[in-house]
């Protein structure tokens, strides 16, 4: 497909190892790669979806290794209509860092950017869980985050939902002239 009505930029942020690249690959290629693809530099993914009969080209930016150096540049954030803040439900620390990632996004992205909280690796055994969905839900509400979902890049649970619901939220803003 080559024609579309809108092009929407997403960024994915969060600690290294939470599954950002796997979420991107699951959404764009519908596969899970268990190996760790350590790439330095920003990488992209694209996929077309339709919202309200409109064709939307999603251009998704992945930090690809730079998150550990906190060297993400302003150009990464610029023009992002959607921002996925990802933590790993089995790694408490990655959830505690979400407030830092949120501050970064709020500082550098557009004030209308749709911010979404994503608790990844929901396929893991409950005994591995270090963050309850209730507290993440509460954090999202308290911080004005549009949407919270737990996902699994491995089983593909909620992956489609998180990317599509973000686009629906952005599309509402486009219609109302905020973008």
Binding site for ligand GDP (CB under 6 A): 16-22, 34, 36, 120-121, 123-124, 152-154
45 vs 82 by CB, closer to Mg ion: 45
Smallest separation (angstroms) from ligand GDP to the CB of 92:
16
Cβ contacts of residue 132 below 8 Å, gap of 6+?
Answer: none
Closer Cβ to ligand GDP, 78 or 128, answer by number: 128
Cβ distance to Mg ion smaller for residue 39 or 100? 39
Please state, in angstroms and rounded to a whole number, the distance separating the CA atoms of residues 6 and 173: 12
- Least Å from the CB of residue 33 to Mg ion: 11
Rounded to the nearest whole angstrom, what is the least distance from the CB of residue 63 to ligand GDP in the complex?
7
Q: According to CB under 5 A, which one of 14, 21, 118, 158 is a site residue for Mg ion? A: 21
Binds 119, which of ligand GDP, Mg ion, none (CB < 5 to 8 A, cut-off by type)? Answer: none
Distance CA(14)–CA(27), nearest Å, equals 17
Query: DSSP class of residue 35?
Result: S
- Cα 133 from chain centroid (whole Å): 17
- Residue 59 contacts which entry, Mg ion, ligand GDP, none (Cβ below 5-8 A, type-dependent): none
C-alpha to C-alpha distance for 179 and 177, rounded to whole angstroms: 5
Longest dimension (CA), the chain: 47
């Amino acid at each position: 497909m080559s024609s579309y009505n809108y092009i929407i930029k997403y960024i994915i942020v969060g600690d290294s190892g939470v599954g950002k690249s796997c979420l991107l690959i699951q959404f764009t290629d519908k596969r899970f790669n268990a190996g760790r693809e350590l790439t330095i530099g920003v990488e992209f993914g694209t996929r077309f979806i339709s919202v309200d009969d409109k064709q939307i080209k999603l251009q998704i930016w992945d930090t690809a290794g730079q998150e550990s150096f906190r060297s993400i540049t302003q150009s990464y954030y610029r023009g992002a209509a959607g921002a996925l803040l990802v933590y790993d439900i089995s790694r408490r620390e990655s959830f505690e860092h979400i407030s830092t990632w949120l501050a970064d996004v709020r500082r550098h992205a557009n004030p209308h950017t749709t911010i979404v909280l994503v608790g990844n690796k929901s396929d893991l055994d409950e005994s591995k869980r270090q963050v309850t969905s209730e507290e993440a839900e509460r954090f999202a509400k308290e911080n004005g985050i549009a949407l919270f979902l737990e996902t699994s890049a491995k089983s593909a649970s909620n992956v489609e939902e998180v990317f599509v619901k973000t686009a629906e939220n952005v599309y509402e803003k486009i219609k109302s002239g905020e973008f």
